[in-house]
Amino acid sequence: MSFRIRVLGLLMVVALAATAATAWLTLRQANRQVQESAAAGRQDVSRITGELRAYGFAHGTWEGLSPTVAELARDTGQRIRVATETDVLLADSDALAGRTPRAVSGQPAVLVDPRPVLRLPAGLVPRGAMKITALTIAEYRATVAYSACLTRAGAQVTARPGDDGVPRISTDRRPAQCPRPGTEAQIPTEEDLAALLPCESDQRPADCVRRVFHERIAADAPPRLEIRLGVRNDAPPTLAAAPTVAVAVGVALAVILGALLLSRAVLRPVRAITLAAKGLGEGDLARRVPVLGRDEIAQLGGAFNRMADSLQAGEERQRRLTGDIAHELRTPLANLRGYLEALRDGVVEPTPELLASLHEEALLQQRVVDDLQDLALAEAGALTYHPVAVDLRDLLEAGRTAHRAQAEAAGVELELWAPGSVIVTADPDRLRQVVGNLVGNALRATAAGGTVTLALLPHVPQGLARGGPAVAEMEIRDTGRGISAEDLPHLFDRFWRADASRGRATGGSGLGLSIARQIVTDHGGTIEVRSEVGVGTTFRVSLPAAPDGVGGSGAARASGTPGASEAG
C-alpha cells in the first residue's frame, strides 16, 4: 500500500472521528436546548393558566378577559384560545391580533378552574365544619356578585385569598351601582344547609363539606375554561440536521485536501530520493537530491547526499588505488622485462651485479604485493592475530637493533628511551611490523647527523585519569624535514608520499602507514602524528595496557638492557 493511501486513510479516520465527535456534541447541545425550550413552554403554560385562574378568581366573571389573553400571547409567543367547557369561545389571540384564527393544535386542552379551595381550621367537629362551610358559601356568592359588578363598571379589581380560601376584593374605586355586600347577604340558605347535612355522619366530614362547597358555588362562580395552545401542524422545535451534515462534509473535504497536500509535500522529495538512489545503483555517483528546509525530509535528503558523497569518494579512492598500483608496478616491471629481453637476446651480459639488481627489484615488487594483501586483509577484518603478553621495551629494542645498520649507513643516530617495562596483550609480529614501518619512514625522512628516538612513556595517565583502563604509549620521533599541515590529513592514505614527484628515492611502497594504522586499530589502540616542517615528526602509538602491566626499572635491568637513554 502506498504512503499516500496510508496517510489519506489515517487522516480520514481522524476526520471521521473528529466529525462524529463534533456532531455528537452538537446534537447533544441541541437536544439540551430543545429540552430547555420544552421546559420554557411548560413554564409558559403554567404562567397562562395561573394568570387566567387569578383573573376568574378576582373578577368573578370572564368578562373583560381579552386584554389579558392578548398580553399573555405577546409575552409568551403562544397562540391562545380560551373557551368554556361547553365550547363557548371567550377569547382567541389570533383574532385579537387581527389575523384569521388558525386551527388549534391537537394537544389536549388545559382546564382552568377559578373556584376557590375551601380552607377549614384544624380540629373542627363535623357540625362546626358544616356551619363554617354554609357561611363561606353565602360569602362567596356575595363576593362574586360584587367583583363581577366592579368589573362591568370598569373598576380595577384585585383579590387575595382569605383564611377560608374565599377572595377578599380590593378596588381603586366603588361605583354607586356596586354596593359592598353586607352581613345580611352572607346568610346561608336552607338548601345549602340541607346539602351539608349528610356530612355530619360521613366518615370523612372535611372532604365531604369541601365537595358540597364546590357543588353549591358552581352556579355562581365563573365556568371552568378549556385553554388550547399552539397551532395545528406546527412542528415542535427540533434540530436541523442539514447544517451538521454540511459541516461534517466540509471538515472531511478539508482533511482530504490537507492529506493530498501533505502527501504531495512528503512524496515529492521521497520520489526525488528514489530516483537518485536508482541512479546510484546504475552507476551515476554524481546524482544528488535538492535539500530544502530543516525538517525530517530535509535531513533524509542530507543523509542521502552524504551517503552519495561517501560512495563517490570510495569509488574515487578505488580508482586512485588502481592507478597507484598500476603506477607502482608498471615502471619496475617494464624495467625487469627490458633487462630480461636484453639478456635473452644477448645484448646484455648476465653479470652478478645485474642479476643482484634484478633480484632486488623483484623483491621490492613482492613487498608491494605483500603490503597490499596485508592491508586488504586488515581492512576486511581477516588479518590473523596471535595475541600474547608483549613487553613494549623489548619490542622497541628489537626495532632499534633491526634498523641499526640502516641508521649507521644514513649517518643518523638511533636512540632508545625506555625507563621501564610496559606489558600489553598483542601480536608481537604485527607490532614489530608497525614499529618497523614507523622507524623506516623516520630514517628516510631524516638527514645525516639527525636523530631518531624510540621512546616508551613510563606513565599511563590518559586512561586512569578518566576512570578507564591504563594506556601504554610509545613514540617514534625524528628530527627530519617534517610534514606540512596540509599534508598531515593524507598521511595514512594508500600510496601517499610527501614527495609530490612520487619518486622512488624515498623508498617504501606507500602502504606502510595505512597498514600500521589498521593493525593498531585492530588492537584497540590509536596512532597519532604531529609534525613541524624543518623540526621533525612524532608518531605516538597508544595501546591498552595489560593488567599490572607497568614494570619498574628493576624489570629493565633484568632484561639485560639499560633503563635509560641509549644511542645507536
The answer to whether residue 38 sits within a structural domain is: yes
Among 169, 204, 221, give the residue marking a domain's end.
221
Rg of the chain over CA atoms, in angstroms?
Answer: 60
pTM of the model: 0.44
For residue range 214-250, list pLDDT tens digits in order: 998 888 899 999 998 888 766 555 555 676 677 777 7
Residue with cell 403554560: 45
Residue 400 sits in the same domain as residue 489: yes
Nearest by Cα to 398 from 374, 433, 424: 433
Q: What's the mean pLDDT in 387-402?
A: 92
Q: Does residue 380 belong to any structural domain of this protein? A: no
Is the residue at 51 inside a domain? yes
pLDDT band of residue 504 (cuts 50, 70, 90) is very low
Three-state SS at 413? strand
Residue pair 301/291 in contact (Cβ under 8 Å)? The answer is yes
Residue 367 lies in a domain: no
pLDDT of residue 531: 92
What kind and span of H or E run contains 233?
A: none
Rounded percentage of the chain residues whose pLDDT exceeds 70: 84
Examine the domain organization and report whether 406 and 553 are in the same domain: yes
Q: Are 216 and 233 within one domain?
A: no
Residue with cell 480520514: 12
Give the end of a domain, one of 358, 374, 399.
358
- Mark whether 268 and 412 lie in a shared domain: no
Q: Are residues 110 and 150 in the same domain?
A: no
Helix, strand, coil percentages in the chain from 3-state DSSP, rounded to 5: 55, 15, 30
The helix (run of H) or strand (run of E) holding residue 414 is strand 413-417
Q: Give CA–CA dist 342/101, Å, rounded.
A: 137
Helix residue ranges, H only, 153-179? none
Tell me whether residue 149 is in a domain.
Answer: yes
Model confidence at 562, pLDDT cuts 50, 70, 90, reads: very low
Domain boundary among 198, 221, 244: 221
Residue 172 sits in which domain range? Answer: 125-221
Pair (397, 471) in one structural domain = yes
The amino acid at 45: V
User: What pLDDT was estimated at residue 39?
Assistant: 66
Cα(322)–Cα(437) distance, integer angstroms: 23
* Residues 315 and 183 grouped into a single domain: no
**420 is a domain residue:** yes
Is the model's pLDDT at 31 over the cut of 70? yes
Q: Report the alpha-carbon distance of residue 468 to residue 474 in Å, rounded.
A: 19
pLDDT tops 70 at residue 368? yes
**158 and 202 assigned to the same domain:** yes
Does residue 394 carry a pLDDT above 90? yes
DSSP 289: -
Long-range CB contact pairs, 183-192, < 8 A, 24+: 185/138, 185/141, 185/142, 186/135, 186/138, 186/139, 186/142, 187/138, 188/134, 188/135, 188/137, 188/138, 189/138, 191/216, 192/134, 192/137, 192/138, 192/216
Identify whether 140 is part of a domain.
Answer: yes
Domain count, the chain: 4
Task: Lowest mean pLDDT of 72-81, 258-267, 279-288, name the range.
Answer: 258-267
Based on the fold, state whether residues 101 and 228 are members of the same structural domain: yes
Residues 543, 461: contact at Cβ < 8 Å? no
Do 400 and 423 reside in the same domain of the chain? yes
CB 14 within 8 A of CB 251: no
pLDDT higher than 90, residue 451: yes
Residue 111 parent element (H or E): strand 110-112
Strands 80-84 and 89-92: antiparallel
> Are residues 247 and 329 located together in one domain of the fold?
no
Answer yes or no: is pLDDT of 443 > 70.
yes
148: cell is 363581577
Pairing of strands 413-417, 422-426: unpaired
Nearest to 475 by CA among 405, 564, 415, 547: 415
Q: Is residue 120 part of a domain?
A: no
334 vs 452, residue with greater confidence: 452
Whether 148 and 278 share a structural domain: no
Higher per-residue confidence, 559 vs 482: 482
* Model confidence band, residue 563 (pLDDT cutoffs 50, 70, 90): very low
